[in-house]
Homo-oligomer: A and B are copies of this chain.
Amino acid sequence: MCPKVTGQYKTEIKEKIIQAAIESFAQTGFDRTKMEDIAKRLDLSKGTIYLYFASKEDLFLAICEHYLKFLKEQQLSTIFTRKEDVVLYAEHFYENFRKLERGNDRVMLEMVVESTRNQKLRKGMYEHRLKVYDNVVEHLSKQIERGFIKKDIDVNGLASAFVALYDGLAASRMLGISEAQSKKAWVAMVRAVMAGIGG
């Protein structure tokens, strides 16, 4: 009677490999990361990775799915009762999401770039984006219902813009903009949108 490797174990290893790959890809980029590099991070051999992922691309796709699954689970909480909380919440939201992907801005960008070529990935990321977007739309709508936000705004346009703003800040950080400045920009925009800056 030999101890069988449970599915559990397999899943754990896969998860570890994915984590190591995320680190490698984040550091060196997909194309310049060698399978060997990823293996070394885990004190594994090249071959072992191939026991769990059929190819480098396959591994990358698994990372993408991993992220998508992870991100889709995130929900925009909407628990606040005063108009002033809207801005406060914006900060929390930003910080929250930042934590989820800390250090992996680059992998996210690579995924965006890669999605240009990979139909399946593109679909996945597009759907994720849609979901995030829907969340934002719903969130904005609720605030309208509550009377925290005016009725005659372009909810769809604004939702798109907020998602893009968040992504754009990731690019900014990659170029060296500080985390603080990045957050400051987010807050300033949310605040401005809520209050208006027109003189």
**Chain A residues close to B by CB (< 8 Å):** 28-29, 31-32, 83, 106, 109-110, 112-113, 115-117, 122, 125-126, 129, 143-144, 147-151, 153-154, 156-172, 174-177, 181-182, 184-189, 191-199
Q: Which residue of B lies closest to A86 (CB)?
A: B198
- Looking at A116, A184, A198, which has the most chain B CB atoms within 10 Å of its CB? A198
The smallest C-beta distance from A128 to any residue of chain B, in angstroms, reads 9
Copies in the complex: 4
Least distance between A153 CB and chain B CB atoms (Å): 5
For A153, what are the chain B residues with a Cβ–Cβ distance below 8 Å? 188, 192, 197
- A141 CA to B53 CA in the complex, in Å? 54
Which B residue sits closest to A148, measured CB to CB?
B199
- Pick from B112, B163, B174, B198: contact of A115, CB below 8 A: B174
What are 29 of the A-B contact pairs (CB < 8 Å)? A28-B117, A31-B31, A109-B109, A109-B113, A110-B113, A122-B175, A126-B176, A129-B175, A143-B199, A148-B198, A153-B192, A156-B188, A157-B181, A157-B185, A157-B187, A157-B188, A158-B197, A160-B177, A160-B182, A160-B184, A160-B188, A161-B186, A164-B171, A164-B185, A167-B167, A193-B197, A194-B196, A194-B197, A196-B196
